[in-house]
């Protein structure tokens, strides 16, 4: 076979091109490094450099085949055909080639980060309990109305004694069950017993109004039938425990009560509706129907019944979370049971905040402690790692004691619920809760 170039007995060295890439073949190198990329060829639209004269051509070593040998490659320097065929593999599949460069985006991708309000919450003072002032005759009840529409309204509300007293009522409820289990005996007045009976009636209506079959994930329309029955019977339910001189108060307390169980138009429920239930209890305290000696029963009997009913409504009618913060929120629906539940566990000898990760503790004690009940319900309805779907609760489990958890949750409730326009824009004001 004739050779047009220099032949070495031990070395074959040539260049070839494939798919706009230039490669170098050297038989003296190890087998995995014999074929190496050199550079890309010029784009088709670019003008090629002027041809060199034979005197300018440097010596190069490759074999030019005869007419009897099939050709499959092309020498880059002289354009002649070669006997060496290019590799069949795609160049990008060779393990010895460097990987493509890592490009950095001009703008970092958007991340779902939690709102940067934690420092303000930490520095805020812990809310303190307050006595609820009762109203005196003559009574002038009125239909409550919405007043908050902007951050300026929120600031005005938070500078008012109304907010301080309402939040002080929530703190007083929390302190009334400190160190107490749900099953512990407590004073139950006839009014408290009647309220419990009313909530049990509402739960019975859920059994009488089953959900309809529908394709949407959230918001079963049967909930609207349940809520319509609630609205129609709310006044008669209130009259079961109101004394004669306070029966006219139904025009003011019924809206708080009906808004405590979700919105029938959106078929959703959230911390704003839960706050309405607390406001309804606050109105009863303002009228003297609920007294301080009833506070423990209001939490461990009334509120626990309310919490059970709301979970039933959420599961049966698939209520959509209203204003949920997603994974960065404390819970999709509730806030107050975490406050009350953490107060129950203050100074507990064995259970610490990190005990929520112990499945046996959650399972065996969720019926006695609201905080553990909330954790158990979340683990039931949400799948995956707890730290992924509830990172805020997972962080709280690292707090050393329940006293700090409780005080932190009270400050967080004020900042994340009572100071948020999207939530408080639906809050009502009348004679009992003054603007």
Query: Tell me: the pLDDT tens digits for 48-86?
Result: 555 555 555 555 555 554 444 444 566 655 666 666 665
Q: How confident is the model at residue 330 (pLDDT cuts 50, 70, 90)?
A: confident
CA atoms within 13 A on the CB side of 228: 7
In a domain, 251, yes or no: yes
CATH number where 253 lies: 1.20.120.1150
Residues 404-424 have pLDDT tens digits of 999 999 999 999 999 999 999
Q: By residue range, what is the domain housing residue 290?
A: 162-429
Q: Answer yes or no: is 120 within a domain.
A: no
In a domain, 78, yes or no: no
**Residue closest to 324 by CA, chosen among 270, 391, 389, 278:** 270
Please state, in angstroms and rounded to a whole number, the distance separating the CA atoms of residues 304 and 178: 15
pLDDT-based confidence at 5, cuts 50/70/90? very low
Whether 82 is in a domain gets the answer no
Average pLDDT, the chain: 83
Query: How far is CA 224 from each of CA 131, 210, 230, 315, 397, rounded to the nearest angstrom?
Result: 37, 12, 10, 15, 38
Q: Which pLDDT tens digit goes with each residue over 281-292?
A: 999 999 999 999
- CA-based nearest residue to 329, from 251, 375, 392: 392
Residue 123 lies inside a defined structural domain of this protein: no
What DSSP state is assigned to residue 262? -
8 Å CB contact between 202 and 317: no
The pLDDT tens digits for 97-119 are 555 555 544 444 444 444 556 66
**Does residue 114 belong to any structural domain of this protein?**
no
Rg (CA), the chain: 37
The pTM for the full model equals 0.73
Q: How far apart are CA 127 and CA 125, in angstroms?
A: 6
- List, in order, residues 6 or more apart from 382 with CB less than 8 Å away: 389, 390
Within-domain flag for 172: yes
Q: Report the domain count for the chain.
A: 1
């Amino acid at each position: 076979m004739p050779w047009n170039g220099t032949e070495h007995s031990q070395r074959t060295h040539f260049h070839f091109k494939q798919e706009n890439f230039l490669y170098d073949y050297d038989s003296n190198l190890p087998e995995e490094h014999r074929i190496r990329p050199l550079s890309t060829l010029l784009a088709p639209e670019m003008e090629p450099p002027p041809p060199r004269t034979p005197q300018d051509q440097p010596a190069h070593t490759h074999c030019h085949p005869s007419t009897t040998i099939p050709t499959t490659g092309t020498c880059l320097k002289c354009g002649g055909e070669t006997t060496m065929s290019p590799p069949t593999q795609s160049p990008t599949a060779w393990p010895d080639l460097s990987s493509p460069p890592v490009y950095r985006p001009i703008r970092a991708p958007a991340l779902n980060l939690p709102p940067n309000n934690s420092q303000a919450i930490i520095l805020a003072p812990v809310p303190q309990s307050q006595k609820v002032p009762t109203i005196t005759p003559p009574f002038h009840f009125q239909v409550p109305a919405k007043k908050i529409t902007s951050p300026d309204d929120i600031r005005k509300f938070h500078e008012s004694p109304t907010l301080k007293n309402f939040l002080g009522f929530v703190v007083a409820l929390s302190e009334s069950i400190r160190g107490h289990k749900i099953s512990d005996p407590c004073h139950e007045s006839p009014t408290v017993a009647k309220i419990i009976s009313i909530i049990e009636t509402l739960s019975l209506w859920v059994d009488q109004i089953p959900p309809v079959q529908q394709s949407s994930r959230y918001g079963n329309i049967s909930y609207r039938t349940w809520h319509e029955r609630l609205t129609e019977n709310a006044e008669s339910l209130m009259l079961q425990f109101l004394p004669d001189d306070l029966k006219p108060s139904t025009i003011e307390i019924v809206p708080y009560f009906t808004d405590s169980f979700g919105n029938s138009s959106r078929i959703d429920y959230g911390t704003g509706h839960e706050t309405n239930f607390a406001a309804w209890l606050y109105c009863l305290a303002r009228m003297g129907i609920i007294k301080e000696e009833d506070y423990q029963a209001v939490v461990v009997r009334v509120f626990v019944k309310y919490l059970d009913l709301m979970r039933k409504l959420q599961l049966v009618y698939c209520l959509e979370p209203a204003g949920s913060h997603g994974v960065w929120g404390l819970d999709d629906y509730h806030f107050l049971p975490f406050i009350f539940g953490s107060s129950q566990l203050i100074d507990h000898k064995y259970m610490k905040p990190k005990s929520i990760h112990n499945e046996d503790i959650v399972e065996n004690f969720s019926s006695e402690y609201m905080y553990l009940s909330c954790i158990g319900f979340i683990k039931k309805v949400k799948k995956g790692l707890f730290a992924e779907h509830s990172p805020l609760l997972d962080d709280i489990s690292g707090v050393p004691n329940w006293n700090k958890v409780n005080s932190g949750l009270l400050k967080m409730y004020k900042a994340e619920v009572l100071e948020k326009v999207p939530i408080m824009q639906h809050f009502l004001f009348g004679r009992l809760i003054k603007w």
